[in-house]
Structure formats: C-alpha cells, structure tokens
Amino acid sequence: MTAALRLGTRGSALALAQSQFTADALTAATGRPVELVRVVTAGDRSAAPVAQLGVGVFVSALRDALLAGEIDFAVHSYKDLPTGEHPGLHIAAVPEREDPRDALVTRGGRALRDLGSGATIGTGAVRRIAQLHALGLELQVTPIRGNVDSRIGRVLGPQADLDAVVLARAGVVRLGRAAEITQTLDPELMLPAPAQGALAVECRSDDADLVELLAALDHAPSRAAVTAERAVLATLEAGCSAPVAAYARLDAGAHAGSAIDGESGERIHLRGAVISPDGARAVRLSRTGTPADAAEIGKALAADLLDAGADTLMGSRE
C-alpha cells in the first residue's frame, strides 16, 4: 500500500478546510492518499496585530517542518507568503483561485454605503482600513484580529460589538458561511490584496517526484494572476501588511480562438493601488499584457506607481 503523503497545515478552521480541500483534490487527481499534520506557527501563538508581527509569521513554522522532512508538502494562503523565493522550496501548484474580492458582513443586512456615519466596522488589514477611510463614509474603523468565525461573531454573535466587518470572501466561502455575507465588495470600492483567495502548494524543490505529482493541481490562469499581483508587491518592497492592493483579471482577447503568432489572445488586466493609511491620498494605476508576461506586467505597474509617488504613501521617504 502506498504511504500517505504528509500535508502540513495550521490548526485554524480555515487552514484545515483549505488543506483538506487540497488533500482531497490531490487524491482524486492522482490516487495518492494524504494525511494532515498540524503545525503551530508564531502567528497562531500571538494576539498582536498582523502589521506588528511581520511578513511570513503564519508560514515560517510550516517551512521549517518541510525542510526538516517532518512533512512532505504544505498549503498556504498565498497572500501570507513573503514575496522572495525560499531556497530549497518550490511552489508546485496554485489551485484554481476562489473569488479574490473582499466581503462585508453587517448587522441588519445593510450595504456598506447604508451603514451611516459613526457606524463601527472591524478589519485586520491596513489595506482595508485605508480604503474604508478613502470612501469618506465617516465610519469608525476598528483594527481586529481573529479567525473568520470570531470576526463574524463580532457582528452576528450574542455579544456582538460591531456594526460590520470586512474580510476575504474566499475564507468565508471555504468555511461554508457564504450565506452570511451581506455584500461582496466591488474592486472599485475595495481593491483586494495581492494573491487574496489563492492557495500555494509548496514542497521541497529537490523532491522531483512530488513536484511533478503536485503539478496536477496547478491552474495556469490563477498562477498568472497571482504572479502579476505579487510582482507588484515585490517590486514595491512592501509586505503583506502594507497598504498595497493589486487585482489581476484574465480575459479572452479580441483574437481569442484565432491564434496570432502562436498566442491564444488571452489578456491579463492588472490594477494596483497604494493608499495612505488615513485614506487621504492614493495612487491607482493599471497595466495590460499577456499571461506569459505576468511578472513583467507586475514589475512595470509597480514602477509606474513609484513614479507617481507611491513610496511616499508607504512611509519610505519624506
């Protein structure tokens, strides 16, 4: 009997749901059994805001376990990963991405623009806080931490103390709580975080057989979109807690179905933004190109943002 592959995962409900989804998909695609191995990360042990904890706080323990041979592969929320490549490790697959947009959960089913001046709204991301301030709705924005269930409980639970929370739609859906979403926020209102809604399946780069096996889960359009978005983040030298947003969408181009010079005609449309934490200033730009050039499109958009003064909004210079 073939030994089960060991999939490392954080112990949160969302991490377990994402990992079980990946395990089931791999078994269905390849026939290999998979067992989950829980790993506690520094982020799980701390109650400090993510912005204070730093980049990679939820993934370092998983990567240590991978390098030590304690697990065979790991599943991360892609937006939690540092942008630099890790020596000895390889992102073998990016499964098909869940909806990357942000979601609003409110008391009384009110839409964002109907919350009213002074309404209390909680979120854990500097990016979301900045964009909520930029809307000019005079909301009282409260930084919060916690898992999806505890955040929603701040609005819908028996001891609710907030009028609304904003969180990633993907996590709410993966936990089977989509019915509690009041409004999925249009990117025109709230541009998502780079790689939001995407998973990264990582293994040791020298494990050629496993690299090949995990490739069965890779979804090329999702990988291209995430590559473009994370190239923006990397070029800006900003971490996952910075007020940086990026959203790539793949569309069939005008020549799709009638390949020209070997290209399918598919286009990638990338939008990026850097917003000051108080929402008073923002730089928002876009770029378009082919999926094959995803990384270069992201780098070029970041350069455009920097040329327009984005670095001053991230506090890198006066």
Task: Please tell me whether residues 235 and 206 are part of one structural domain.
Answer: no
Q: Phi and psi at residue 264, in whole multiples of 5°? A: -75, -15
Distance of alpha carbon 48 from alpha carbon 166, whole angstroms: 19
Residue 191 falls within a domain, yes or no?
Answer: no
Distance of alpha carbon 82 from alpha carbon 253, whole angstroms: 32
Task: Please tell me whether residues 298 and 247 are part of one structural domain.
Answer: yes
Mean pLDDT of the chain: 89
Cα 299 to the center of its chain, rounded Å: 18
Angle at 231 between CA 142 and CA 184, to 5 degrees: 40
- What tokens were used for 255? 């020549």
- What tokens were used for 293? 């050039």
Single-letter amino acid code for the residue at 164: A
Task: Please tell me whether residues 210 and 229 are part of one structural domain.
Answer: no
Task: Please tell me whether residues 206 and 238 are part of one structural domain.
Answer: no
Distance of alpha carbon 53 from alpha carbon 240, whole angstroms: 11
Task: Please tell me whether residues 163 and 207 are part of one structural domain.
Answer: no
For residue 137, what is the DSSP state?
-
Domain containing residue 271: CATH number? 3.30.160.40
Range with the lowest mean pLDDT among 11-25, 150-164, 239-253? 239-253
CA of 214: how far to CAs of 170, 180, 218, in Å?
22, 33, 7
CA of 256: how far to CAs of 237, 262, 290, in Å?
35, 11, 12
What pLDDT is attached to residue 48?
43
Q: How large is the average pLDDT for residues 204-211? A: 97
Distance of alpha carbon 23 from alpha carbon 273, whole angstroms: 35
Task: Please tell me whether residues 86 and 18 are part of one structural domain.
Answer: yes
Residue 117 falls within a domain, yes or no?
Answer: yes
pLDDT one-digit tens code per residue, 81-103: 998 889 999 999 999 999 999 99
Task: Please tell me whether residues 204 and 249 are part of one structural domain.
Answer: no
Task: Please tell me whether residues 244 and 297 are part of one structural domain.
Answer: yes
Task: Please tell me whether residues 236 and 305 are part of one structural domain.
Answer: yes
Residue 123 lies in domain: 102-184
Distance of alpha carbon 20 from alpha carbon 9, whole angstroms: 9
Distance of alpha carbon 128 from alpha carbon 300, whole angstroms: 24
Catalytic residue IDs? 80
pLDDT one-digit tens code per residue, 40-60: 865 444 444 444 444 456 788
Distance of alpha carbon 190 from alpha carbon 103, whole angstroms: 9
Residue 190 falls within a domain, yes or no?
Answer: no
Q: Phi and psi at residue 111, in whole multiples of 5°? A: -75, 165
